[in-house]
Amino acid sequence: MDQKAQIKWTLNHIPKSDDRQLENMSVAEMEKAGNFHKSFPQYAETPLTPLSGLAAHLGLKHLYVKDESYRFGLNAFKVLGGSYAIARYIAQQLGKDINEMPYAVLTSDRLREEFGQATFFTATDGNHGRGIAWAADKLGQKCVVRMPKGSTLTRLENIAKEHATVTIEDLNYDDCVRLAAKEAKEAERGIMVQDTAWEGYEEIPTWIMQGYGTLAVEADRQLQAYGSRPTHIFVQAGVGSLAGAVIGYFTNRFKEHPPVMTVVEAQAADCLYHSALQADGSRKDITGDMLTIMAGLACGEANTVSWDILRNHASAFVSCPDWVSANGTRIYGSPLRGDKQVISGESGSVSMGLIHAVMTKPEYKALKDALKLDENSEVLLISTEGDTDPGRYLEITWEGLYGSGKEPFAGIL
């Protein structure tokens, strides 16, 4: 196999920090976010799907996938963070607790009189911006979204349908973040709502991560209903916000004996893997166009809040070429007899492609052994999105796009 097509990995040998961010992902904080989301009329718990046939095929005890394609009718999990952050911001401006600000209050005439209207700015590869736009529209607020070059028109149109101002810029993702932040600062009542964090901008990203905690709380309770406790969790990362939220929650949930938790990235934007590889506690950025079919993971600068959690509690960091994601999409879409089909897009499926490769390909036996994956393992995956780009989904599942493990991604087809 071509060197560029190989999965790369490292165990976590990073020196520990003071771990000050972990308490922000406590069970209590995540449940607070969950209660907020339950106040939405569109709320429904997304399914936790057991894949028993695949687990047996791979030599695992249990394999579960949290299917976020059902979230609020938006085909992805991102709305959890954006909606919660917008609500927390409005509550803060009014001097109220988030518990006093359910959906009915946020959409009321009285709230409009007290708070008025702000404009929420963000940058996105697709799902995050759509979630912000949807939440802002539902809550009577305005939204401006900037997308990086290479973004598809399908994703832009999905955002535009939520009544947001949206453009595709000739910039990569991280430069789009800087552009949106500048515009928010210059606009009247402009607020930046981004799921990455940097020095001086950590409060709103922390709220977004707490919002993501809703899916972790749901998954935990669903696993309990199955009589299971996860021994292993694989969670994908762009800037690392979801990974930090999930790993933070389950570290707090199982303080004495947490699961083995692995961070999974797109190889074109594997800033967390390279940060872990240098193993000195500092963050290493990835620059350039970061071309990958995993659009939602094409982020080269790590969230500072999340990085502090991951460096202390992630077990391993894995960098995956595009074929891993494409294979995961096909596995989800073509289940073994008795298993349920899961429609999973490119950013949602990479962890499935990874667990399949680790359990079936001899060249990754060292990783399998390092993670202690065997017939006693109970594995949790998160499919973070459905077919958010339907054309690309069909190219992968019907036409075998990126099936050999040799084709480098050269841009939008």
- SS3 labels along the chain: CCHHHCCEEEECCCCCCCCCCHHHHCHHHHHHHHHHHHCCCCCCCCCEEECHHHHHHHCCCEEEEEEHHHHHHCCECCHHHHHHHHHHHHHHHCCCCHHHCCHHHHCCHHHHHHHCCCEEEEECCCHHHHHHHHHHHHCCCEEEEEECCCCCHHHHHHHHCCCCEEEECCCCHHHHHHHHHHHHHHCCCEEECCCCCECCECHHHHHHHHHHHHHHHHHHHHHHHCCCCCCEEEEECCCCHHHHHHHHHHHHHCCCCCCEEEEEEEHHHCHHHHHHHHCCCCCCCCCCCCCCCCHHHCCCCCCHHHHHHHHHHCCEEEEECHHHHHHHHHHHHCCCCCCCCCCCCHHHHHHHHHHHHHHHCHHHHHHHHHCCCCCCCEEEEEECECCCCHHHHHHHHCCCCCCCCCCCCCCCC
pLDDT digit string (tens) for 329-371?
999 999 999 999 999 999 999 999 999 999 999 999 999 999 9
- In a domain, residue 289? The reply is yes
Share of the chain above pLDDT 90, in %: 94
Is the domain of 365 the same as that of 383? Answer: yes
Rounded average pLDDT over 400-407? 71
pTM here is 0.95
- In a domain, residue 413? The reply is no
pLDDT at 240: 97
- In a domain, residue 411? The reply is no
Is the domain of 57 the same as that of 108? Answer: no
Residue 413 has pLDDT above 50, yes or no: no
pLDDT at 412: 42
Is the domain of 370 the same as that of 381? Answer: yes
pLDDT at 2: 56
- In a domain, residue 50? The reply is yes
- Give the confidence band of 99 by pLDDT, cuts at 50, 70, 90: very high
The residue among 164, 199, 234 that closes a domain is 199
What is the domain range of residue 256? 3-77+204-397
- In a domain, residue 405? The reply is no
Catalytic residues: 78, 125
Is the domain of 284 the same as that of 259? Answer: yes
pLDDT at 1: 47
Residue 411 has pLDDT above 60, yes or no: no
Rounded average pLDDT over 106-135? 95
Residue 5 has pLDDT above 50, yes or no: yes
Is the domain of 277 the same as that of 251? Answer: yes
The residue among 149, 174, 199 that closes a domain is 199
- Give the confidence band of 24 by pLDDT, cuts at 50, 70, 90: very high
Rounded average pLDDT over 188-201? 94
pLDDT at 404: 57
Q: How many domains, in total, are found in the chain?
A: 2
Is the domain of 231 the same as that of 364? Answer: yes
Rounded average pLDDT over 291-320? 96
pLDDT at 52: 98
Is the domain of 53 the same as that of 95? Answer: no
- In a domain, residue 134? The reply is yes
pLDDT at 126: 86
- Give the confidence band of 4 by pLDDT, cuts at 50, 70, 90: low
Is the domain of 166 the same as that of 93? Answer: yes
Is the domain of 174 the same as that of 52? Answer: no
- In a domain, residue 294? The reply is yes
Is the domain of 119 the same as that of 27? Answer: no
Q: What is the CATH number of the domain that holds 153?
A: 3.40.50.1100
pLDDT digit string (tens) for 250-266?
999 999 999 999 999 99
